[in-house]
Chain A
Amino acid sequence: MRDLFRFLLRQRDNLLFLLLLVLGLSMLIRGNMHQRAEWVSTSNAVTGRVFAFRSGIMAYTGLRESNIALNEALARERERSHAVIERRDTGAVRMDTIRHLRYRYRTAMVINSTTHKAKNYITLDKGTLDGVERNMGVIGTNGIVGVVREASAHFASVISVLNEDHVASAQVKNTGHFGLLRWDTRDPRTVSLTDIDKHVPVAVGDTVVTRGSEGVYPPGILVGVIGAVTEDPSTPFHLITVRLSEDLTRADHVQVVSDLMKAERDSLEMSTPKE
């Protein structure tokens, strides 16, 4: 017994090293497997406050650009409302604003984000108190930004489009063919569009929009334009690189989208037997 104690005492540094190593690695593996770790997250109250303080300072440096972007968004919104009124005047479309409200948009500010890691996350200044929940889509002024991974009362942690774990379905706008968006380019300005067959005619400059099949992003939200198409004889698919329309290195004002019919849709899909 005494020998054991003496051994433990003599080896205490090495044992401590092994203990801490195992502790760190197990946290790392658990965090990777669940893709979320509730207790260490940027939606945490402490780190959230620190990031809010930082973004409070940084927000001033981007005011000019933000105002320009807001103005543009407002202009587009006005155009759209005119279009609706004109169509309504012809009597062809009945605008039922209550029953046809499918998606709800909530505004939020990005208070922290990374773009250069293998897995990038974004922290928003709105949480469950403002109706932000898991798996809601996040959209910037110019395109998709990410998916809410975790929400606390006042903050939300978002899986950025620039994250290996972010997968969304998207389609080429003019042909309608769809594939999966994946961030394997390791470049914060581009993503890959995979699983589009080679017989599909795609060209550089074609617009890519979301398909909305997961119920995260609404359909038809801008993703970007095709920047390059390469042909690899070993696969039956095009290798397409999409230039993102939203600059994720500077996104600050974003909108969180919730699908009001998601619960109904999910329960229907769950109850439908699959082969």
Chain B
Amino acid sequence: MIGTLTNNLARFIILVLLQVFLLDHVDLANGWVVPYLYLLFLLMLPLDLPLWAGLILGFGTGMVMDLFSSTPGLHATACTVMMYGRALMLRALAPREGYDQQDRATITRMGLAWFVTYAGILILLHHLALFFLEVYRFNGALVTLARAFASTLATLLLCLLTQLLISRQARPR
């Protein structure tokens, strides 16, 4: 229990710092692609986390990102939407016997196919909400849609790489 808490806290701090210090300044393909790796913190929260706690954590994490990018409510809203979707997603992707006590939302535990489906759809949901709320109007919807998809690929790829990097260290001795 304490281990889970410190793990998640460390993940939160590291991912948010990485996002604010480094990734927010990455400017791929003329600003078309923005990877939001901090979502990995929300994706890797414990599977048995109650929905209300997930929603509050999502909103809070989004607010922290908003504070650093002066976009009041933008990330908070997108993250809240994603965390609601996460609950539905977890239910839809649950194994027949339900989740195990040791199950965690990682590639090593749940398999690559499970994680890509889970993370891919949720990241897309978040990015669609984020990019459409950011431009705040629906003309140029195709461009916004294309940006959301391109960024989803970048975020997902970074999430996969990060997970592979972490899991190799955390593999039981």
Chain A contact residues, CB within 8 Å of chain B: 12-13, 16-17, 20-21, 23-32, 37, 40-42, 44, 46-47, 50, 54, 114-119, 121, 157, 186-188, 249
Residues A25 and B31 in contact in the complex (CB < 8 Å), given A17-B84, A50-B68, A117-B134:
no
Chain B contact residue count (CB 8 A cutoff): 36
Flag if A118 contacts B135 (CB, 8 Å): yes
A13-B51, A17-B55, A40-B72 known; A28-B133 Cβ under 8 A: yes
Measured between C-beta atoms, what is the minimum distance from B81 to chain A in Å?
7
CB pair A28 B72 closer than 8 Å: yes
Total number of A-B contacts with CB less than 8 angstroms? 99
B20 touches A20 (CB 8 A): no
List B residues 7-27 near A (Cβ within 8 Å).
20-21, 24-25, 27
Question: B46 an interface residue at 8 Å Cβ cutoff?
Answer: no
Residues of B within 8 A of A (CB): 20-21, 24-25, 27, 30-32, 34, 50-52, 55-56, 58-59, 62, 66-74, 76-77, 80-81, 84, 87, 133-136
Asked, given contacts A20-B55, A117-B31, A188-B31, whether A37 binds B72 with beta carbons under 8 Å apart, the answer is yes
Contacts of A50 in B (CB 8 A): 20, 68
Per DSSP, chain B at the interface is: helix
Q: How far is the CB of A41 from chain B (nearest CB, A)?
A: 5
- B68 to chain A: which residues have CB within 8 Å? 42, 47, 50
Known contacts A27-B72, A40-B72, A116-B31; A21/B135 CB under 8 A: no
Q: Which 4 residue pairs are nearest across A and B when measured between Cβ atoms? A: A116-B31, A27-B73, A24-B77, A28-B73
Cβ–Cβ < 8 Å partners of A249 in chain B: 27
Contact status A28-B77, CB under 8 Å: yes
CA distance A37 to B152 in the complex (A): 29
11 contacts between A and B (CB under 8 A): A13-B52, A16-B56, A23-B59, A30-B72, A32-B136, A40-B72, A41-B70, A54-B21, A114-B69, A187-B31, A188-B31
Q: Please tell me if the beta carbons of B59 and A116 are within 8 angstroms of each other in the complex.
A: no
The answer, among B50, B51, B73, for a CB contact under 8 Å with A24, is B73
For the complex, give the distance between the alpha carbons of A208 and B25 in Å.
29
Q: Tell me which residues across on chain A come within 8 A of B80, comparing CB atoms.
A: 17, 20-21, 24
For residue B143, give the distance in angstroms from its CB to the closest CB of chain A.
8
Report the separation of the CA atoms of residues A31 and B68 in the bound assembly, to the nearest whole angstrom. Answer: 15
CA–CA, A271 to B81, complex, Å?
50
A96 to B134, CA, bound (A): 50
Q: How far is the CB of B48 from chain A (nearest CB, A)?
A: 14
Q: What residue of chain A has the Cβ atom nearest to residue B59's Cβ?
A: A20
Contact of B55 among A13, A25, A31, A41 (CB under 8 A): A13
Q: How far is the CA of A44 from the CA of B71 in the complex (A)?
A: 13
CA distance A173 to B70 in the complex (A): 35
